[in-house]
Amino acid sequence: MIKTINFRTLGCRLNHAESDSIQYGLHMAGYQIVGDKTAADLTIINSCAVTQQAEAKTRGAIAVARRISPHGKIAVIGCYAQLSPEVVADLKGVNLILGNSEKYRIQDLLDILEKGQKEIHVARIVGGDTFPPLGLISKGSRTRAHMKVQEGCDYRCAYCIIPLLRGSTRSRNLQSCVDEAVMLREQGFKEIVLSGINIGTYRDSEQDFSDLVSAILSKSDIERLRISSIEPDLLTDRLIELMRSEPRLCRHFHIPLQHGSNEVLGWMRRRYKAELFFDLVNNLFQNIPGVCIGTDVLVGFPGESEKHFNEMMSLLEQLPLAYFHVFRYSARPGTAAVGLNDSVPIQIKKERSEALRLLSDRKRNHFLRQFNGADLSVLIEKKSKLGLYRGLSDNYITVNVKSDNQIVNNIRIIRITDIGIAEVQGELIGG
């Protein structure tokens, strides 16, 4: 009899938002959700297949689940299950395999596991309404809620498998997003993170992503709204103006660049040139004081030469970026690039991604040092083991602070006194 369930979630923010929603639904249905290091009757693994490394990590998570819950059942859901259902089904210990259209129905399929059967439920074409029902939003932490507002993607970047795994772009109804924001505020959440796959393509009839952001800000009194990630060619002047003028919209943009060479961007079938990204980042930096701008970069795309790589390094050197997420190219089935000769040796890929990580660390520290002595608005999320309270500023800085009072889920002004490698420490202002 399945009573206890734990989760292992891999991959993107959206996967984490979806796991939280499914977890909340099972909790409301009476199942006991336990930590991922606690033995459980069922382990649900929300998988990722964006790279070959991600697939390997999913297989690793399955092995860990078997070790922690030797008598438990395992359900693998999401992108790896969607891409290779038979391969996943053959992995030892796996009982239920659900694709991206079916994962929200897991609650209705648990009886299959009770009967000890093994089943695959994966629609070849992903589509339809794969949004969590109203009120079943992620409740991972009591301070921040991830709201899935958009799904799928119609872009066809040459290296990317996501459109094949998540289907074409579709958006959640704007009014239901506003209703959810009002409900989350009433439940005590202080921040909502708007999540999707290609969020800038959000559309609800004539209303676009800026309309959604503006509607949530004007029709709910949520204290903070954060945008998870947005493509450079979809970041509109209206959105920049909203962020410049609306203090509740967190000063944080994550804008995937992928590469700094126009030739490689062309091969990747990205929809902009490096110059657009250069102008956009400088425009944000000049118009939104204290803004945190992060990016994604991909090394080792077929044909990438030392010259291409140096073009990227020089572009990133010049830009006021605060951090990069660095990925190594790996060929993905069904993508336009899969047929290209994967010409960059793995050792070179490793060296180039290491060089980018070191540059990202330097940029991060340079960004943090700007706030020494400054006051930041911080949402306190938890009390760390060291007895310090820990939170995130609106501009994506992790801040630690001492307090005699319990301040979790409070937004407090903190004066920054110490700058660390990747975090800062400060003092509470105003008691």
Residues in touch with ligand SF4 (CB under 6 A): 153, 155-157, 160, 162-163, 197-198, 231
Q: Which of 124, 326, 154 is nearest to 233 (CA)?
A: 154
Measured distance CA(249)–CA(291) in Å, rounded: 11
Q: How far apart are the first and last CA of the chain?
A: 51
Q: Which of 28, 99, 135 is nearest to 109 (CA)?
A: 99
Residue 121 or 166 having the CB closest to ligand SF4: 166
Q: Which of 386, 393, 428 is closest to 407 using CA atoms?
A: 428
What gap in Å lies between CA 73 and CA 5, rounded to an integer?
9
| CB of 59 vs ligand SF4, minimal distance in Å | 23
Tokens (6 digits) for 384: 């760390």
Query: For 73, how many CA atoms within 13 A lie in the half-sphere containing its CB?
Result: 22
Tokens representing 108 are 């209705």
Report d(CA 198, CA 132) in Å as an integer. 17
CB of 159 to ligand SF4, least distance (A): 7
Considering the complex, state which of residue 6 and residue 130 has its C-beta at the smaller distance from ligand SF4: 130
For the bound state, the minimum distance from the C-beta of residue 332 to ligand SF4, rounded and expressed in Å, comes to 10
Q: In this complex, which beta carbon is closest to ligand SF4, that of residue 41 or of residue 231?
A: 231
Q: Among candidates 408, 394, 405, which has minimal Cα distance to 430? A: 405
Return the number of the residue (160 or 213) whose C-beta is nearest ligand SF4. Answer: 160
Instruction: Tell me the closest approach of the beta carbon of residue 11 to ligand SF4, in angstroms.
Output: 12
- As measured in angstroms, the least distance from the Cβ of 202 to ligand SF4 is 13
Tell me the closest approach of the beta carbon of residue 273 to ligand SF4, in angstroms: 16
Q: Between residues 61 and 197, which has the closer beta carbon with respect to ligand SF4?
A: 197
**Shortest distance (Å) from residue 127 CB to ligand SF4:** 16
Residue number, 144 or 332, with CB nearest to ligand SF4: 332
Contact criterion met (CB below 8 Å) for 169 and 130: no
Of 164 and 419, nearer to ligand SF4 (C-beta) is 164
CA atoms of 164 and 174, how far apart (whole Å) = 25
With tokens 């103006």, the residue in question is 241
